[in-house]
Amino acid sequence: MSDFKLPLTEKWVSPSLLSADFANLERDMNALAAAGADLLHVDVMDGHFVPNLTIGIPVVESLKKVAPLPLDVHLMIEKPERYIEGFIKAGSDYLTIHVESIEKPADVLRRIRELGARPGITLRPGTPLSAVEPYLALVDLVLVMTVEPGFGGQSFREDQVPKMAELKRLRAEKNYSYLIEVDGGVSDKTVQQCADADVLVAGSYVFKNDLRSAIRKLKGLA
């Protein structure tokens, strides 16, 4: 598991494997690590909570066996409490749940930590930040979705930028210790609007360009 101390010295990049070549995931994960990525973002969708179906526990288990970086797993599924133990046993290092998908988020977040993973919480663009505020003391990561979850390649929603700024303000005010992560339409054209984020999730932008160059641009090193 990747340890962190705030503030980070530079932004972390967590490329989304949803944009990788599924026939060559080990190759692509190694290439991302060599290019300077910090985490590997795994989008889990069940076809119910979001209108798309991707990977499940067996694939995460296979990824973990060869992954050169920690797995940053985002559960876009109904009733995640049924599956968190399986995903953690499979090798999830960070495990993020949607506040909209569960009745008692606090119980599930505590359980994720008890099982040995870093808990994270996220919310759809239409959900106010106040929905996750009661749980900020319990998490190591807060994911701001700047697109509607479910599909890659969507455009960045500027109206979600204030959530990142507010999360940074709350973290300082309350002495919280979570990473602020942003996912959706992140590229060299939108990264300046993500100044308050610590971790940048990018799929289409990273894989459609030279990996090292794209990651360096996101980190502000180019």
- Residues noted as catalytic: 43, 183
Q: Which is nearest to 158 in space by CA: 166, 147, 168, 142? A: 147
β-pair partners for 14: 201
Cα separation of 101 and 152, whole Å?
20
**Three-class SS state of 19:** helix
Sheet with 141-145, side-by-side order of all strands: 12-15, 199-202, 179-183, 141-145, 118-123, 94-98, 71-76, 40-45
The whole-angstrom separation of Cα 58 and Cα 90 is: 7
Scanning the chain, the segments in alpha helix (DSSP H) are 25-34, 57-66, 84-90, 105-114, 161-174, 204-207, 211-219
